[in-house]
Amino acid sequence: MIEFPRTEQEVRKLERFLTATENLPLEAGLDKMRERALFHAERLSNAVNIGFAGEFGAGKSSLANMLAGADILPTGPQHLKLPLVIVAYADAPETTVGWWDKEPKVYSGIALEKAAAENPDFISVGLNTPALQEISLFDLPGTGALDDTYKSTLELLSYVDCAIWCTNGTNAWRETERHLWAQVPQELRSNSLLAVTHTDLPPVRDALDRVLHRLEKEKGKFFRSVVPIGTPVAVKAMAQEPEPDFDLWEICGGQNLAEQVLQVASERRLKDLEAARNDIEQEFLPFLAGLNIAEAEPAQVEAPSIHATLESALPPLENPILEDWLAAIASIYDDLRETSEIEPAAFLNSCQEIVEDFAERLEQGGEIATEADWIPGEFEKATDLLLLLQFESGDAPLKDAISILAQLSDNLAWAGSRVDSVQAKTGT
């Protein structure tokens, strides 16, 4: 499984930069830096947009359904005329009817027919599917060979980060398709796939080797790779009970396509991440340093021992909620210093209990800076991570847990350090 690069740390740094510079006089240089920081934060906080495009009957909606893991987009000959349909993550199923020039409407559940009846510019369908937390699927209207529908397709492709052009294997990669795709910017073309559909049909299957050989020679600068897929077979393979037929899933091309999509989306996310890091290190942090605004960095795990790691993770900043937090984890620290035989499950359970207690306390509000309202959510996510670590073995989960405590300490050091909350100390 291809994993997406983690972006939370960079997003927090970007948010801190934006917060620290929010009330400064806006001069040309700072204004441009804030625009870039906001752009990076939005890019890293949102899913990677994968577009599905192709001529009518190419099977793009079926392919989008397959990757979404839900049969929600109408396929085949149908009378329901749909605009751009976006399939994205939502806590509960919902349908948003959208227009470019007015406020959207939101319906609970999946209501494509009701949405289409309002003649919207686009429809967004929200599903509680884990994969959609990383990628959103854009199902573009089909294009025709002899009309101007390709113009709207070109416009809509500007909203996606990666694209899958679906070509019908019965007559793959026609001149009309080539004409449209040649007008797509090179950056998107190099980050896109050519999916040869309907490979489950006997005529296509029998000639597939010859077709793929031709397309591999012709893809040139058009696509990064050519991927054959028999979508109905792939859907059938994943619907098998009591578990999916993974052999069939691989044979029909489902596994290859899924990996290719995740790979191209992951590379796009990595490119965004590298661009953000470059600006953070070369522009934003030096600017804050010039203002004497310290950027608290998370503790590093690569310490010689778990004991030393936890000790270095406790930041010296003083504020009431941070002091209570450090006092709460002091018992864990003492246990680590006194023994080398640590029961991982007990240690992780203690960490989780402390984090849960502080998550409830933070939800009550009043103890952290108003611009740090995202921090309670970090504590809630940490409880889930600590629970997952209990199912792993070895020393790695312990180090991961310490890293989590360190990051939460760093968050509280920043969020609770307010002028009206820092208490002066005397004595030793």
- What confidence tens digit (pLDDT) does each residue in 110-161 have? 999 999 999 999 999 999 988 888 899 999 988 875 566 678 888 999 999 9
Return the DSSP state at 191.
T
Q: Looking at the structure, do residues 242 and 326 belong to the same domain, yes or no?
A: no
pLDDT of residue 399: 79
Q: Looking at the structure, do residues 107 and 239 belong to the same domain, yes or no?
A: yes
Q: Looking at the structure, do residues 237 and 312 belong to the same domain, yes or no?
A: no
Strands ordered across the beta sheet of 105-108 = 105-108, 94-98, 122-127, 84-89, 135-139, 48-54, 162-168, 192-197, 225-228
Is residue 295 domain-resident?
no
Structural domain including 364 reads 301-428
Cα dist. 385→329, 355, 398 in Å? 17, 11, 12
Is residue 228 domain-resident?
yes
Average pLDDT over all residues of the chain: 83
Q: Looking at the structure, do residues 331 and 185 belong to the same domain, yes or no?
A: no
Is residue 368 domain-resident?
yes
CA dihedral 106, 109, 113, 114 (to 10 degrees): -40
Is residue 81 domain-resident?
yes
Q: Looking at the structure, do residues 96 and 242 belong to the same domain, yes or no?
A: yes
Q: Looking at the structure, do residues 242 and 332 belong to the same domain, yes or no?
A: no
pLDDT of residue 189: 95
Asked whether the beta carbons of 126 and 137 are under 8 A apart, the reply is no
Q: Is the pTM of this model over 0.85?
A: no
Average pLDDT over residues 414-424: 47
pLDDT of residue 321: 79
Q: Looking at the structure, do residues 244 and 308 belong to the same domain, yes or no?
A: no
The two tokens of residue 413 are 């050091």
- Top pLDDT among 421 and 349 is at 349
pLDDT of residue 322: 79
Helix (H, G, I), strand (E, B) or coil at 234: helix
Q: Select from 194, 223, 252 the last residue of a domain.
A: 252
Q: Looking at the structure, do residues 386 and 240 belong to the same domain, yes or no?
A: no
Is residue 136 domain-resident?
yes
Q: Looking at the structure, do residues 246 and 120 belong to the same domain, yes or no?
A: yes
- Top pLDDT among 182 and 131 is at 182
Q: Select from 231, 252, 273 the last residue of a domain.
A: 252
Residue 105: pLDDT over 50: yes
Q: Looking at the structure, do residues 81 and 154 belong to the same domain, yes or no?
A: yes
Is residue 135 domain-resident?
yes
Q: Looking at the structure, do residues 327 and 241 belong to the same domain, yes or no?
A: no
pLDDT of residue 293: 52
Q: Residue 84 is part of a domain; what is its CATH number?
A: 3.40.50.300
Is residue 272 domain-resident?
no
Task: Give the count of domains, the chain.
Answer: 2
Average pLDDT over residues 212-237: 93
Q: Looking at the structure, do residues 235 and 319 belong to the same domain, yes or no?
A: no
pLDDT band at 103 (very low <50, low <70, confident <90, very high): very high
Residue tagged 């002066």 (tokens) = 424
Q: Select from 252, 267, 287 the last residue of a domain.
A: 252
Is residue 160 domain-resident?
yes
